[in-house]
């Protein structure tokens, strides 16, 4: 064997200098004490950790980073953007303005609370950091108009909502953040199911590591992400990794812009780095997909991060992750000067353009009255091609995973399809808590694909003839709609607060009230935006744009 290389050390992810603008949350609960050897120690009370967490979870439910809002505005200003790109971007900016009021969260899926901390060696706590942080999550979710999404497994098959959105995912590392032993730094995230479900791991080999094969691979895999996680995306790709789980974790950090200050070149110390050239190439690749900001165009992604990591010679993991239109994260720090949280944008109105709806409505918008018999609604939809923009007014039935499972059991037992699913279009959604004085809480669409397995059974029984949700569907849904004369309408994923404030006028429970937000609801909507995605003739807008063309050449 050859002689060993000399010892060198570099962190796997050298994150660089912190350029964040912070605001002071409190200077209480922190103190500096003298220790042995002349060392100074920062003491942090559990109450300070709780207060910081509660404040962070509030902010990321209602505010976005200025850079993200500027990217939305740039879509509206880009003459190469499609009308649908611009329409989605404007709706998301309006949604951000409503959410910034602090009442309605920007998305109805207020997510799993994820907290990563780095505690310097001279930071002293009472050892209950995870519990104190979890208490802050509890305070935010139980006091604000947020949704409880966490399920406790009681047996292998039985689950029950915890009623508090706990547990949170909390990870604390023993590390001097930015080289400061008396500092405690954090990344707070709220990750909704739609976005989390678009995290992928592929176990590849050395054969992937050439420009042509890499771009062919990425074209194929990135198209499969689809729109269920509410683009435009912040896309992260990690190539390599000391383990599969480390690659996935790095992709999550990169999607949150946490690794933006990584080096841009590798070295024999084997640290991770960003490949800026490949980032630009992948971004241009996504511009040409035709998927756009959900319904055709260029803006499938806002931006791309590509991180290259070291790897075992026999293993080449590739991780892909996205941060969606609810781009919810913030960094924080506790130092001798106090408890600090990233300053997010509280006045997103400054990013709104001076345009009217008519300026953006360069294509026909079809107004659909849902107060008519289902056959009349279907006959009208049948007159228009896929991608047609609609404005819906009238009643909708709301049902998602658990309600669909219960109705399927009834059909299997020989019971008839509930009349409400025969008479009305069905909206796949689950609301957040309803604030006082509002008709509903934030009430955006759920990922449609989770209900794909029920469509043929329901349509054969006369129900679910018009479905409304977000994202692409499987081929079996297209076949069923063709056979039974059904339609799938895509709703804009992301603007849940705007839909609650402007479009949803009345909400009542029809069935399964005990299921909470998973109950069957009836809602009245006005000017609810949607697009025809799958029609009764076997056409599917996403069928074409998700096919790889595999014509990418070398860099």
DSSP for 196-215? HTT-EEEEE-GGG-SHHHHH
Q: Are strands 466-469 and 487-490 parallel, antiparallel or unpaired?
A: parallel
**Angstrom distance (rounded) from CA 127 to CA 174:** 13
Same-domain pairing of 18 and 108? yes
The residue written with tokens 């812009």 in the block is 257
Examine residue 523 and state whether it is found in any structural domain, yes or no: yes
Same-domain pairing of 67 and 127? yes
Same-domain pairing of 302 and 331? no
Same-domain pairing of 272 and 331? no
The residue written with tokens 């709780």 in the block is 50
Q: Are strands 329-335 and 338-342 parallel, antiparallel or unpaired?
A: antiparallel
Same-domain pairing of 344 and 379? no
Same-domain pairing of 140 and 274? no
pLDDT tens series, the chain, 555 aa: 568 999 999 999 999 889 999 999 999 999 999 988 889 999 999 999 999 999 999 999 999 999 999 999 999 999 999 998 999 999 999 999 999 999 999 999 999 999 999 999 999 999 999 999 999 999 999 999 999 999 999 999 999 999 999 999 999 999 999 999 999 999 999 999 989 999 999 999 999 999 999 999 999 999 999 888 999 999 999 999 999 999 999 999 999 999 999 999 999 999 999 999 999 999 999 999 999 998 889 999 999 999 999 999 999 999 999 999 999 999 999 999 999 999 999 999 999 987 554 544 556 799 999 999 999 999 999 999 998 999 999 999 999 999 999 999 999 999 999 999 999 999 999 888 999 989 999 988 888 999 999 999 999 999 999 999 998 899 999 999 999 999 999 988 888 899 999 999 999 999 999 888 889 999 999 999 999 999 999 999 888 666 655 444 434
CATH number of the domain that residue 401 is part of: 3.20.130.10
Same-domain pairing of 263 and 337? no
Examine residue 547 and state whether it is found in any structural domain, yes or no: no
Domain that includes residue 252, residue range: 193-325
Same-domain pairing of 265 and 306? yes
Same-domain pairing of 124 and 176? yes
Examine residue 555 and state whether it is found in any structural domain, yes or no: no
| Total domain count, the chain | 3
Same-domain pairing of 458 and 321? no
Same-domain pairing of 371 and 314? no
DSSP 415-469: PPPPHHHHHS-EE-B---PPPTT-S-S--PBPBGGGGHHHHHHHHHTT--SEEEE
Examine residue 500 and state whether it is found in any structural domain, yes or no: yes
Examine residue 545 and state whether it is found in any structural domain, yes or no: no
Q: CB neighbours (10 Å) of residue 167? A: 15
Task: Give the angle subtended at the CA of 484 by the CAs of 483 and 489, to the nearest 5°.
Answer: 105
Same-domain pairing of 267 and 294? yes
Examine residue 136 and state whether it is found in any structural domain, yes or no: yes
Examine residue 451 and state whether it is found in any structural domain, yes or no: yes
Examine residue 52 and state whether it is found in any structural domain, yes or no: yes
């Amino acid at each position: 064997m050859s002689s060993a290389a000399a010892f060198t050390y570099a962190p796997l992810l050298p994150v660089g200098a912190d350029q964040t603008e912070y605001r002071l949350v409190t200077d209480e609960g922190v103190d500096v004490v003298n220790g042995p050897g002349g060392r100074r120690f920062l003491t942090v009370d559990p109450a300070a950790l709780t207060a910081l967490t509660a404040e962070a979870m509030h902010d990321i439910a209602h505010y976005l980073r200025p850079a993200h809002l500027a990217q939305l505005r740039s879509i509206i200003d880009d003459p190469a953007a499609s009308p649908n790109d611009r329409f989605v971007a404007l709706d998301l900016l309006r949604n951000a303005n409503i959410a910034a009021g602090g009442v309605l969260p920007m998305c109805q899926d207020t997510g799993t609370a994820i907290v990563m901390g780095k505690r310097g060696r001279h930071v002293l706590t009472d050892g209950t950091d995870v519990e104190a942080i979890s208490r802050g999550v509890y305070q935010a979710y139980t006091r604000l108009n947020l949704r409880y999404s966490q399920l406790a497994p009681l047996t292998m098959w039985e689950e029950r909502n915890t009623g508090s959105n706990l547990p949170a995912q909390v990870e604390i590392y023993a590390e001097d953040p930015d080289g400061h032993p008396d500092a405690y730094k954090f990344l707070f995230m709220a990750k909704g199911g739609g976005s989390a479900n678009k995290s992928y791991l592929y176990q590849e080999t050395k054969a992937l590591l050439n420009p042509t094969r890499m771009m062919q691979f990425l074209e194929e895999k990135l198209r499969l992400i689809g729109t269920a996680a509410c683009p435009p995306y912040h896309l992260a790709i990690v190539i390599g990794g000391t383990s599969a789980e480390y690659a996935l974790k790095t992709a999550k950090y990169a999607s949150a812009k946490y690794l933006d200050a990584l080096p841009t070149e590798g070295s024999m110390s084997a640290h991770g780095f960003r490949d800026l050239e490949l980032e630009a190439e992948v971004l241009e690749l996504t511009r040409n997909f035709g998927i756009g900001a959900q319904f055709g165009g260029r803006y499938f992604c806002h931006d791309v991060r590509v991180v290259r990591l070291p790897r075992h010679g026999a293993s080449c993991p590739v991780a892909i992750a996205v941060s969606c239109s609810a781009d919810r994260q913030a960094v924080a720090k506790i130092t001798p000067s106090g408890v600090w949280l990233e300053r997010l944008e509280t006045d997103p109105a400054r990013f709104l353009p001076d345009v009217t709806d008519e300026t953006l409505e360069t294509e026909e918008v079809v107004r659909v009255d849902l107060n008519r018999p289902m056959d009349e609604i279907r006959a009208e939809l049948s007159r228009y091609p896929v991608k047609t923009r609609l404005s819906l007014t009238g009643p909708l039935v709301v049902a998602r995973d658990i309600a669909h499972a219960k109705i399927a059991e009834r059909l299997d037992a020989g019971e008839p399809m509930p009349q409400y699913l025969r008479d009305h279009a069905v909206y796949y959604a689950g609301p957040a808590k309803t604030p006082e004085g509002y008709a509903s809480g934030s009430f955006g669409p759920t990922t449609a694909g989770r209900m794909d397995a029920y469509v043929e059974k329901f349509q054969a029984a006369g129900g679910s003839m018009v479905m409304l949700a977000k994202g692409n569907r499987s081929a079996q849904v297209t076949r069923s709609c063709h056979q039974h004369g059904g339609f799938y309408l895509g709703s804009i994923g992301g603007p849940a607060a705007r839909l609650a404030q402007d479009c949803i006028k009345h909400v009542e429970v029809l069935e399964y009230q005990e299921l909470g937000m998973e109950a069957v609801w009836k809602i009245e909507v006005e000017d609810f935006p949607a697009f025809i995605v799958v029609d009764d003739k076997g056409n599917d807008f996403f069928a074409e744009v998700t096919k790889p063309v595999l014509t990418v050449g070398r860099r």
